[in-house]
Chain A
């Protein structure tokens, strides 16, 4: 190739790269800067720290309330229903058996009433979320103001790294177009498109209108309690101080903010009503 042809190709190639890079820089410059995103385990100093307490004592096997709660979430948010198709399924909140939900406990003996007990699982909106740490475009991030791990479906590139990083299986990818699998399309909330990852967002759009999350509203007996951990007078703080709660895979350091009440204190009272719990925690049953 003689030098003028090579020169032409060089200039053409550099122009393409320059145009692409230049337009990227211009686009970045004219973009609204997003709010501060937090992915580290910053202490919950300012704003609210939203969390959930799920009271397992209030659920029994085949409890119709479970379906009511799941449907409340899924219909509010146009979550597609794939039936038995576990390959393509999308779920924001769903029941698993107790032993599966806490499978790292490697249970050998389980109290009778806990065997197979339905346990509602959802995104834990961790305080130290691994999913937001790995997202290459900040399409998912932890909101400073209230601690919600949020999703931006306009930005998600569908790489599924967040799904890989989540230790709880809370995230679903849209392998196919969800619209045909949505029975009652609610125009008040968008659907998602094929190719993005989705999960529970703690009903942030309802919270903005002063409403409770849909799953909480579907409860009639405080099965799910939702509130601000930074408010010492909140119901959730009261529950957490009164009951022993467990969280999923706490040893991973993710600081999940969904707590599960397992123990029934009435049974504790019946066993040893006169025992006073000492400073050293002397009540060893």
Chain B
């Protein structure tokens, strides 16, 4: 079936080729980073994790969100999602690969990555995150392959895949929980030391992921004969709505605890994010854009008319995605480091090479998603020839 990704229309090849050009430039930047070191990024002694790890954190959420289509369909027999599950699984595959690539480019000694497997360390959450993500990738590759192959042959999938699919549901929840555990168990970082971090991660994942899935479904429908169906889209939109409400509620809870307790260690990080601290306010404009986008999204999503109309829904989904990308992919990680453990306010902003490498990894993700979607659409005969 893989060969189906290697043939296509002019539009298909133009898109894939432009992605490859971006990836090429990013690879050159990464090679420069590989020889010079991470000094070419905006990272510093106090802000040791930045844009790369922020992207990783956001994308683990996107990967986990496949469960939002898998759970209703397989556990509750919600037939309307029948056509969407594989799109969710393919998106998960691309997202997990992007996660792994972002970790790889962030490491000081990437050639020593094997050490994580040679010296397994059960008391380290990073070890378990590696296990969880690796396992999730294997699960999704297996599940998507087996179900798609069965669909292609016109058979129902083999019965042994069903328990594996059910197993992937708690596994999906666990990958984002363990990623939250990377942060929420650290006494050194009061901004992250909160029990609500894992629930917040999951809520934002289950909003951003399905929002992206809706947008991808619309894009695919524009170029092919694929049609997810009104019911599937509406149900996904409902899921996005509730998840977004939960996420915004959790953020509000965090703000209350920080500011009502007025504990400086907790307040300072939020102040840095939204107002700036000691003149350092790089992230503030971004955070307010995120807030505005969240409000716009909620207004559009809560009103059933705008939620069910595709133009406003697409706008709402884009707003959700970018709002949460800013919140998780920019704000959450960096604010953990400012102020530093010694109370110092330091500056961080990603450098152009850092951004280029990140763009290249996003391009790789898009490449994988496009290729995999092309395969399933060819199998279903929905490509216009």
Which residues of A pack against B, CB within 8 Å?
Answer: 1, 24, 27-28, 31, 39, 86-90, 96, 100-101, 103-104, 106, 130, 133-139, 155-161, 163-169, 172-177, 194-197, 252-254
- Residues B116 and A157 in contact, CB atoms below 8 Å apart: yes
- Residues A86 and B45 in contact, CB atoms below 8 Å apart: yes
How far in angstroms is the closest Cβ of chain B from A151? 13
- Residues B37 and A100 in contact, CB atoms below 8 Å apart: no
CA of A155 to CA of B115, assembled, Å: 7
- Residues A160 and B1 in contact, CB atoms below 8 Å apart: no
B117 proximal to A (CB < 8 A) = yes
With contacts A24-B118, A100-B343 known, is A136 near B126, CB below 8 A?
A: yes
Collect the chain B residues with CB atoms within 8 Å of residue A137's CB.
112, 115-116, 118-119, 121
B39 proximal to A (CB < 8 A) = yes
How far in angstroms is the closest Cβ of chain B from A179? 12
- Residues A195 and B342 in contact, CB atoms below 8 Å apart: no
- Residues B43 and A164 in contact, CB atoms below 8 Å apart: no
Collect the chain B residues with CB atoms within 8 Å of residue A103's CB.
342-343
Measured CB to CB, the nearest residue on chain B to A101 is B342
B253 proximal to A (CB < 8 A) = no
Measured CB to CB, the nearest residue on chain B to A130 is B187
Collect the chain B residues with CB atoms within 8 Å of residue A177's CB.
37
CA of A175 to CA of B43, assembled, Å: 8
CA of A173 to CA of B127, assembled, Å: 20
With contacts A133-B124, A157-B113 known, is A169 near B39, CB below 8 A?
A: no
- Residues A195 and B109 in contact, CB atoms below 8 Å apart: yes
With contacts A134-B126, A194-B37 known, is A172 near B45, CB below 8 A?
A: yes
CA of A176 to CA of B49, assembled, Å: 16
How far in angstroms is the closest Cβ of chain A from B38? 5
Measured CB to CB, the nearest residue on chain B to A156 is B109
CA of A173 to CA of B48, assembled, Å: 8
- Residues B45 and A89 in contact, CB atoms below 8 Å apart: yes
CA of A157 to CA of B106, assembled, Å: 10
With contacts A137-B121, A194-B108 known, is A169 near B342, CB below 8 A?
A: yes
How far in angstroms is the closest Cβ of chain B from A203? 22
Collect the chain B residues with CB atoms within 8 Å of residue A195's CB.
37-38, 107-109
Among A136, A168, A173, A194, residue most surrounded by chain B Cβ atoms (within 10 Å): A136
B108, B112, B344, B346: the one within 8 Å of A160 (CB) = B108
- Residues A159 and B108 in contact, CB atoms below 8 Å apart: yes
CA of A27 to CA of B114, assembled, Å: 11
Collect the chain A residues with CB atoms within 8 Å of residue B103's CB.
159
CA of A89 to CA of B48, assembled, Å: 12
B45, B107, B109: the one within 8 Å of A88 (CB) = B45
A106, A134, A169: the one within 8 Å of B46 (CB) = A169
Q: List 3 tightest A-B contacts by C-beta distance, closest first.
A: A158-B108, A195-B108, A167-B188
Contact string, B91-127, partner A, CB cutoff 8 A, digits 1/0? 0000000000001001111101111111101011111
Collect the chain B residues with CB atoms within 8 Å of residue A24's CB.
114, 117-118
- Residues B108 and A136 in contact, CB atoms below 8 Å apart: no
With contacts A1-B1, A175-B37 known, is A161 near B126, CB below 8 A?
A: yes
How far in angstroms is the closest Cβ of chain B from A238? 30
CA of A168 to CA of B123, assembled, Å: 21
A101, A133, A161, A175: the one within 8 Å of B123 (CB) = A133
With contacts A88-B44, A195-B109 known, is A136 near B116, CB below 8 A?
A: yes
B189 proximal to A (CB < 8 A) = yes
A28, A133, A175: the one within 8 Å of B118 (CB) = A28
B341 proximal to A (CB < 8 A) = yes
Collect the chain A residues with CB atoms within 8 Å of residue B46's CB.
86, 169
B38, B110, B114, B264: the one within 8 Å of A175 (CB) = B38
CA of A136 to CA of B124, assembled, Å: 5
- Residues B39 and A165 in contact, CB atoms below 8 Å apart: no
CA of A161 to CA of B127, assembled, Å: 11
B107, B340, B346: the one within 8 Å of A159 (CB) = B107
Report 5 cross-chain contacts, Cβ distance below 8 Å, ordered by A residue.
A86-B45, A104-B265, A157-B113, A160-B48, A197-B108
Given pairs A130-B186, A194-B108, 5 additional interface contacts (CB within 8 A): A135-B124, A136-B121, A136-B124, A157-B110, A169-B341
Collect the chain A residues with CB atoms within 8 Å of residue B113's CB.
157
How far in angstroms is the closest Cβ of chain B from A181? 11
CA of A136 to CA of B125, assembled, Å: 8
Measured CB to CB, the nearest residue on chain B to A253 is B187
Measured CB to CB, the nearest residue on chain A to B128 is A136
CA of A98 to CA of B344, assembled, Å: 14
Collect the chain A residues with CB atoms within 8 Å of residue B118's CB.
24, 27-28, 31, 137
- Residues A39 and B126 in contact, CB atoms below 8 Å apart: no
- Residues A176 and B36 in contact, CB atoms below 8 Å apart: yes
How far in angstroms is the closest Cβ of chain B from A138? 5
Measured CB to CB, the nearest residue on chain B to A20 is B114
Measured CB to CB, the nearest residue on chain A to B265 is A104
A157, A164, A253: the one within 8 Å of B108 (CB) = A157
